[in-house]
Amino acid sequence: MSALLEVRRLAKQFGGLSAVEDVSFAVETGEIVGLIGPNGAGKTTLFEMASGFQRPTRGEIWFDGTRIDRLSTPAICARGLARTFQIVRPFGDMTVLDNVIVGAFMRAPSPKMARAHAATILAQVHLAGRCDQVARTLTLADRKRLEMAKALATGPKLVLLDEVMAGLTRVETDEIMEIVRALPRAGVTILMVEHNMHAVMGLSDRVIVIHHGRKIGEGSPAQIAENPAVVAAYLGGRDDADA
Amino acid sequence: MIDVFAQALADGVASGALYGLIALGLSLQFGVMKIINFAHGSLLMVAMYISLWASRYLGAHSLVAVPLVAVVMFVLGFAIQRWLLEDIYRKEATREPMGILIFTTGLWIFLDNLFLVIAGPDYQVIKGDWIGRTTSVGGLMFGYPQVAGFVFSTLTTVALVVFLRHTRLGRNIRAAGQDREAASVLGIDSARVYQVSFAIGLAVLGIAGALLAPMYPVNPFVGDIFGLRAFVIVVLGGIGSIGGAFWGGILVGVIESVGAQLLPATFSEILIFGIFLAVLYFRPTGLFGLEKE
Amino acid sequence: MTPLARGGAVGAALVAAMVVPLATPSPYALSIVTLTLLYGYLALSWNIIGGIGGQLSLGHAAYFGIGGYASTLLFVQFGVSPWFGMFAGAALAALAAALIGYPCFRLRGAYFALATLAAAMILKIAVENSHGLLGGPRGLEVTLLRDAPLQFQHTRKEFYYAVVVVMLTIALSINYLLLRSRLGFHLVAIRNDQDAALALGIDITRSKLAAAMLSAALTAAGGTFYAQFVMFISPDKVLSANLSVQIAVMCIVGGRGTVFGPLLGALLLLPAEEIARRALGGIVGADMMLYGLLLMIVMRREPRGVQRILRDLWNRTGAPRSVNAG
Ligand SMILES: Nc1ncnc2c1ncn2[C@@H]1O[C@H](COP(=O)(O)OP(=O)(O)OP(=O)(O)O)[C@@H](O)[C@H]1O
Ligand SMILES: [Mg+2]
């Protein structure tokens, strides 16, 4: 069986700047894969291409047996690939529950079922107690949870998580880690960008490292931690200090 | 027959430069703040009235009134941005500023009808002996106000481009337009830059109004059609682009003037709108714009 | 109160409110009430695209005019009952909305507002310059048949009042149901954040298009009603930019995106306009000046409209806050 997500020789240029260059990798069903790299490495750009927000300059993206790099964002979402935004984007006027219902309408045939599905998802991310709160007023940790809940509500096979733990406390991070860890069992494969090493190393089955748009390493968390190129480029060259 | 078309073409270019100038302020404001000021046409009308009153009550020659109107409009622009738009803008600067759209729609309706109340519905014209005079260039006839309009519009456009490229303030304005956060990192006070940009936009509009006033009878709703045309020009030229506004203005001027020779007046209006929709659909970055959104 | 009980109470109050005007002795007063409710209906129609969908339309007079002209023309020229003409007008207006909206809906912000504004202006100019069929600037008269309810006319004002109440009820129901439907959720999401909506699989253009067409169709039906009520239409009455603005202002001042806000806006503004007109002794332009001013004040003070102010007052003074406190 072929991989759930397969990226082949992908490249993206912004004018003269090469944000992603000749990157290839695959994600298998049921995995949690970490995608790491210093600031500006091209991680978010990769997600933007996989979710149809940006067209690749070169290369191909295959998801669940179809080529998706020319499809529109809604079409990609309908096939079961959802994403979160690094800078969270709640629908500020709406309640938490309504935010999630929007996503749930992707698969739910009726408002009633969308509501029920949304409630289940909110319980899954420990946000059930905030159902009626207007999204604009949430704390950062809850916004991150809501961001995940919206993506999960679309019923995806694969979710791209873009730094859902950035800026959170240790306790909050651990909570989100628990939520993520449980997802493959619920049939959701994970590709996550994360600067928090504790989280990436603790959660990932496999880690992919990119630097200046190029893939410089791939392997188990233990292998990555010992890979000299990665240590030099990534851990050595970090210009932010959060961990 | 050829002469008629040559004349129409030349007229189109002459009024087009002025149309471009009307659109310039709008484009600048969009380029820097990403807002569309729906009161733009009404503010043009206000500028025309100021020019009219300056000539009627102060006896100012309508070309002398140009800098005067520009100064008044600059102050007005500063005040509008500072005391009316700023807080609304700040509240929703991250996404589409719908509040500004609605607010300036309110300002547009308010100004039009305020002038209807204080100045009455009648068309009024500026008097002056130079206004009726004409000159001929290469067999084509031009009115003095038309020549003045073309020359000063072009000069103002060039001056604005030079200002934005080669002065410190101009560069700050462009920096703030490109990237708000980066600008604030560079120590640029973006609120002040917005006030100044808005004010400059209106000063340019004031110049346009003062140049237009001798050619075009003024009434409280005169701005609506010019305002709408300015929006079309900005879209044709590529929203936010100064040079684009100039060429977009010329294009609309020529379509209108040459179109008038071939079609009933209504149709050139429809033609311009049709082009507007087609450009929105096929080239939303404008006809001349090279950079992408 | 449970939502159901509250809904029932509001419904009962509305029904009562709608019966009362029938007791008024003067046909003039009933005409004013009818027109006010028509504006409420129009504001609710506008609300679908402008409020719920968050796309500022400044050209709804075009749809109103299309509705009025379509049914009147069909009636005068071909003897088609305006009841059917109403649907023809609605279909035509929906088509026009699609043509205007489609190029803009992929884009952001002001383009749609500009396109609607321009389209309405062009339509007005075009109709004014059409001498034959559309009657040019002088407009069209609806052939007078007196008491012919099947031809959508009657000498008694109560007839029109009853019709407008039904139309208003339909518009309220559509808004209510829309807000609870898939399309409604999609529209509110788009209004909040277009990219985030896209990421959740929403087809932005299709949702906006559906809202614009529904809104236009309802507005056109209002145009047919107006033509039958006044028995006469002309470009400066049914296609004016002022009308477009008035419709939008009522919705925005009342509270865009809500079910009762738009109606509230009409109920507040139309009488206010009438009073201002009398107080100011008919200064031309004073009424529209008021509209502009109100729009500015609302956007600075409470962009969610009077509806929100009343709700906050209710919550502050009313019984202990039980629901959604948090
Ligand atoms: N739309 C764009 N236009 C131009 N340049 C862009 C654009 N998006 C990203 N870039 C550039 O591409 C490069 C990669 O950016 P990207 O956001 O993918 O990095 P990242 O790995 O997600 O970084 P971070 O860890 O800070 O989130 C950066 O140099 C960035 O400035
Ligand atoms: Mg990133």
pLDDT tens sequence across A112-144 = 999 999 999 999 999 999 999 999 999 999 999
Average pLDDT, integer, range C295-313: 91
Q: What is the pLDDT of residue A226?
A: 84
Question: What is d(CA A58, CA C112) in angstroms, rounded to the nearest whole number?
Answer: 34
Give the pLDDT band of residue A71 (cuts 50, 70, 90). Answer: very high
Residue A48 alpha carbon, nearest atom of ligand 1: 18
Measure CB to CB from residue A91 to each of C188, C201, C257 and give the nearest one: C188
Q: What is the pLDDT of residue B292?
A: 38
Q: What is the pLDDT of residue C284?
A: 82
Chain B contact present for C276, CB below 8 A: no
Arithmetic mean of pLDDT over chain A = 91
Question: What is d(CA B256, CA C46) in angstroms, rounded to the nearest whole number?
Answer: 33
Question: What is d(CA C321, CA C319) in angstroms, rounded to the nearest whole number?
Answer: 6
Mind listing the pLDDT tens digit for each residue in C186-196?
A: 999 999 999 99
Domain residues for the domain of A174 are 3-242
State the DSSP H helix or E strand holding residue A63, giving kind and residue range, or none if neither: strand A58-63
Is the pLDDT at B19 greater than 50? The verdict is: yes
Asked whether the beta carbons of residue C119 and residue B105 sit closer than 8 angstroms, the reply is: no
Domain positions in chain B are 2-282
Is the pLDDT at C36 greater than 80? The verdict is: yes
Arithmetic mean of pLDDT over chain B = 87
Mind listing the pLDDT tens digit for each residue in C79-137?
A: 999 999 999 999 999 999 999 998 888 776 678 888 898 889 889 988 988 877 888 88
Least confident of A6-10, A199-203, C1-5: C1-5
Per residue in C169-183, is it b (16+ CB within 10 Å) or e — as a string? eebbebbeebbeebb
Residue of A51, A87, A91, A150 to mutate, interface with C, max C Cβ within 10 Å: A91
Residue of A88, A93, A97, A121 to mutate, interface with C, max C Cβ within 10 Å: A93
Q: What is the pLDDT of residue B181?
A: 67
Is the pLDDT at A238 greater than 50? The verdict is: no
Asked whether the beta carbons of residue C285 and residue B114 sit closer than 8 angstroms, the reply is: yes
Other chains touching B, judged by 3 or more CB pairs under 8 Å:
C
The more confidently predicted of residues C75 and A224 is C75
Do A40 and A225 form a contact (C-beta atoms < 8 A)?
Answer: no
Helices B242-262 and B222-237 meet at what angle, rounded to 10? Answer: 120
Do B12 and B146 form a contact (C-beta atoms < 8 A)?
Answer: no
Mind listing the pLDDT tens digit for each residue in C23-33?
A: 766 888 888 89
Listed residue (A170, A41, A102) closest to C179, CA to CA:
A102
Q: What is the pLDDT of residue C323?
A: 44
Listed residue (A159, A105, B101, A95) closest to C197, CA to CA:
A105
Ligand nearest to the CA of A162: 2
Helices C82-105 and B265-282 meet at what angle, rounded to 10? Answer: 50
Cβ under 8 Å to C: A residues 112-171:
114, 130, 132-133, 150-151, 153-154
Q: Which amino acid is at A201?
A: M
Measure CB to CB from residue B116 to each of C111, C252, C284 and give the nearest one: C284
**Cβ partners under 8 Å of residue B285, min gap 6:** B238, B239, B291, B292, B293
Measured between beta carbons, the chain A residues lying within 8 angstroms of C199 are: 51, 53, 73, 77, 82-83, 85, 89, 151
Is the pLDDT at C200 greater than 90? The verdict is: yes
Chain A contact present for C290, CB below 8 A: no
Query: Which residue, by CA, sits nearest to atom 25 of ligand 1?
Result: A39
Testing ligand 1's pocket by substitution, the residue of A20, A35, A43, A57 carrying the most ligand atoms inside 8 A of its CB is A43
| Whether domain B2-282 has CATH 1.10.3470 | yes
Average pLDDT, integer, range C4-26: 72
Is the pLDDT at B189 greater than 50? The verdict is: yes
Two tokens, residue A179: 């939520």
Residue C282's closest chain B neighbor by CA?
B117
Q: Which of A31-40, B225-234, C61-70 is the most confident on average?
A: C61-70
Least confident of A106-120, A162-176, C17-31, C203-217: C17-31
Measure CB to CB from residue C196 to each of A78, A85, A130 and give the nearest one: A85
Measure CB to CB from residue A89 to each of C195, C201, C326 and give the nearest one: C195
* φ, ψ dihedrals at B171, nearest 5°: -70, -35
Number of domains present in the structure of chain A: 1
Is the pLDDT at C326 greater than 60? The verdict is: no
Chain A contact present for C198, CB below 8 A: yes
Residue A50's closest chain C neighbor by CA?
C199
Asked whether the beta carbons of residue B228 and residue C125 sit closer than 8 angstroms, the reply is: no
Least confident of B216-230, B232-246, C62-76, C291-305: B232-246
Least confident of A74-83, C43-52, C90-99, C106-115: C106-115
Q: What is the pLDDT of residue C4?
A: 67
Least confident of A103-107, C271-275, C319-323: C319-323
Model-level pTM?
0.90
